[in-house]
Amino acid sequence: MLIKKPNDIAGSEITPHSVYKQRREFMKGAGLLVGGSLLPNLAGAQSGDALKARAPAGLKTSPAAPWLQDKFTSIARAPDVAPYFTDEALTPYEDVTRYNNFYEFGMDKADPSSNSGEFKSDPWSVEIAGEVGKPGVYALEDILKPHDLEERIYRLRCVEAWSMVIPWIGFPLADLIKRFEPTSKAKFIEFETIVDDESMPGIRSRFAIVRWPYREGLRMDEAMNPLTFMAVGLYGEHLPAQNGAPMRLVVPWKYGFKSIKSIVKINFRETMPNTTWVDLQAREYGFYANVNPAVHHPRWRQDMERRLPQTLFDRKVIPTQPFNGYGEQVASLYKGMDLSRYY
């Protein structure tokens, strides 16, 4: 259904890593994995309840719409093979949802979970614009309706040199792109985050450093890569507000700021878009933002990372991999490019 854009367009529970590991060990022991993938009749959906447990008490999230909850009744499990799965320890749900960069809710890591209680992700619509055959403003329900949800367990690497491992729920961005029929002129895709100063106190803050709306972009071949993911959930449940409800981008070989949250506009362009961090400080943040241990940020070394969670007595510092470990799938996209220049 094509709708007019509403004026008020303004998300979660932990499955311990041991549960995931037990599930996979059982499957292997039962002979359910063949050649590293599931048998066809078992590769299908599983109840979202099997991928989650109770959320931490007191967590502030906006309830999902009933139609979105229905989408989570069946989710295709991540295969036990790279690149859509890693057997590294999952970052606990509490850390994934309480340690966030989402400046619309505040500058501190705890601000998004503390300040997002008034955020509403229903109703929601997404504008499709630019060089496409089917532009318009679409209800999120119609955006998601044709897409079956699947689980992807990806590493997330922040330019601030910390990292997580997160079990996302969503679908390939390429599947969405094809539906709206981009023209031959569509070389880049630009995304925008919602601006809602009533429920996002960071927007009203006099200390805000961002010129809203938050904008990010990809080259078309990056967007069409099978790894590029539109996430609508994590840990088997819909996204909390602080993680980008109701729909966000996940690009696992790039620094986290490329994975824009709470998307309200997708614009297909012939030219490279201006993006928020490039506009703020182009010397520190490039358009491509590929994870590259050989190119350091002025404030953070990029050859090592802190894998969260950490405590005073348990600090996990590990080497950073080129392209965050996804080089086999994406390095060819940048053949012949000087990645110390096009960072």
Q: What is the DSSP letter of 314?
A: B
Q: What is the DSSP letter of 4?
A: P
Q: Is 151 annotated as a binding residue?
A: no
Report residue 71: phi and psi, to 5°: -60, -25
Q: Which two tokens stand for residue 306?
A: 């802190």
- Cα 185 from Cα 76, distance rounded (Å): 34
Q: Is 284 annotated as a binding residue?
A: no
Looking at the chain, which runs of residues are DSSP E strands?
33-34, 37-38, 45-46, 75-76, 125-130, 136-139, 150-157, 162-172, 188-193, 215-219, 229-234, 237-238, 248-250, 263-269, 304-307, 317-319
Q: Is 259 annotated as a binding residue?
A: yes
Q: Are 177 and 189 in contact (CB under 8 A)?
A: yes
Q: Is 158 annotated as a binding residue?
A: yes
Burial of 283 (0-12, 13-18, 19+ CB in 10 A): exposed
- Cα 322 from Cα 334, distance rounded (Å): 12
Q: Is 128 annotated as a binding residue?
A: no
- Cα 183 from Cα 119, distance rounded (Å): 35
Q: Is 114 annotated as a binding residue?
A: no
Q: Is 100 annotated as a binding residue?
A: yes
Q: Is 193 annotated as a binding residue?
A: yes
DSSP 3-state percent helix, strand, coil across the chain (nearest 5): 25, 25, 50
Annotated binding-site residues for Mo-molybdopterin read 100, 103-104, 158, 193, 243, 248, 259-261
Annotated binding-site residues read 100, 103-104, 158, 193, 243, 248, 259-261
